Structure 1
Amino acid sequence: MYVLGAVAHAGVVDVPAGTRVEVVLERVGGAAADADLARLNLARPVVDGERLYVPRVGETEVPEVLGPDVAVGGSGGAGGAAPGGTSGPAGVDAVVDLNTADQTTLETLPGIGPALAGRILSWREEHGGFTSVDDLLEVSGIGEARMAELRDRVRV
């Protein structure tokens, strides 16, 4: 896996698939002092071939030179289609389909952890799917602020 951004020693680190992001960060010497760890799911297992970008506090976009398959705190792609209709397991600019995304894919979205991803899946099952992105506002835990972060990252 390729780790870059706000880390002590960016580069390729060899870890078994399923290793948690937290362990990967330890393997690269830890996060930099200005890393925005709140945007990472430290408990997420990684997949072979992905790139992990650790953003800095206040950083809102991944540098363009990194390419579309780098994920901010998520799982950048090794390519190929993935659940949820993304360009890799969850590329930064990838748009997640709310009606097909699985738990792991939903957790790559900003502000979505395991509990909230579970509530999104439950809402989808209970209501037969999303008919509009705005339906997310009906999910407990998603307010206007979080919706603003998600609006350009999701579709139905």
Structure 2
Amino acid sequence: MALDRRAVLGLAVLLLLAVGYAVQHFWLGRPEAVAIPAAVAGASPTVAPVPGSGGDPSASSSPAFSPPGPSGAAVVVEVAGKVRHPGLRTLPGGSRVADAVSAAGGPLPDTDTIGLNLARLLTDGEQIVVGAPAGQPPPAAAGSKTLLSLNQATAEQLDALPGVGPTLAQRIVNFRQEHGGFRSLDQLRQVSGIGARKFADLRPLLTL
């Protein structure tokens, strides 16, 4: 009987130890709530910088906007003088004197353009005279002491000549455009409506 009591007592002790170990293992393995630090909870998500934005997440990698060059409404100018096709020309805003001369076919051979600022911006309604001496205005109409240039005069200036009128003035301008300018005053005789007598009256008033 004494042996049986010891065996039973030993078994009871082992059972208690096993139960205690199981309880301890269950207690240590239970899930626990973990508090989130305030600094982490209030932080905004990190955004990687876009390449080429200088480290600013809000910046875009697209190229910066560049303002357009000088522009605006089209300008209408008159190109007169020693050019292949004198007359009115309509050019885009921001065009320069060189563009107007080019639109008129360019200067005639051996024409001096030193009196022109080819880089100047055009203004609407102006007249550009190619071949005029530097610093001097366009040739005046008949009635003044200055001779009128056949290659530079406008239709209005030719109209002011004695016995010409608007129709004949336009014929002179058309002849000049078709033949690239007058090579000599005698070519004026080839314009329809100018006979020997009218040519004799006009010649003292004209120059090339």
Structure-1-length-normalised TM-score: 0.44
Which has the greater radius of gyration?
2
Structure showing the higher helix proportion among its residues: 2
Structure-2-length-normalised TM-score: 0.33
